[in-house]
């Protein structure tokens, strides 16, 4: 004989388990542009293909894109800056970024020139 209480608990437990699986699944997802606080300055990290593209910040060479992963970000003062990625045989990637006091990830795939 099934009681009313048992009949209500089973659907509640099933719904709770489903909700828990959804929350657990979402906790491992991160957006492509993650934001981290880095103190009084901002920073840029790069994920560029090809990795040896040269990074220019406001027209000044900073190094290769592979030099600035998340662990060694490029420190940048707050404000609007022009970022360029250059590599011989590829079109130049260029964009303006507004830097605050966090890290911004630049992801780009350079296009080969024809």
Under the banding of pLDDT at 50, 70 and 90, the label for residue 95 is very high
pLDDT at 33: 43
pLDDT per position as a tens digit, 62-90: 999 999 988 889 999 989 999 999 999 99
Homologous superfamily, domain 42-109: Carboxypeptidase-like, regulatory domain (2.60.40.1120)
Find all residues with CB under 8 Å of 63, minimum gap 6, and list them. 54, 55, 74
Which pTM was predicted? 0.65
Find all residues with CB under 8 Å of 43, minimum gap 6, and list them. 73, 74, 75, 76, 99, 102, 103, 104
What are the residue ranges spanned by the domains of the chain? 1-30, 42-109
pLDDT per position as a tens digit, 34-54: 445 556 789 999 999 999 999
| CB 55 within 8 Å of CB 46 | yes
């Amino acid at each position: 004989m099934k009681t009313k209480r048992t009949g209500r608990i089973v659907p509640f437990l099933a719904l709770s388990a489903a909700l828990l699986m959804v929350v657990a699944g979402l906790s491992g997802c991160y957006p492509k542009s993650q934001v981290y606080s880095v103190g009084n300055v901002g920073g840029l990290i790069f994920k560029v293909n090809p990795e040896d593209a040269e990074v220019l910040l406001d027209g000044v060479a900073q190094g290769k894109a592979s030099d600035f992963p998340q662990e060694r970000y490029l420190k940048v003062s707050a404000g609007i800056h022009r970022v360029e990625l250059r590599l011989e045989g590829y079109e130049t990637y260029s964009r303006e970024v507004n830097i605050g006091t966090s890290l911004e990830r630049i992801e780009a795939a350079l296009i080969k020139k024809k």
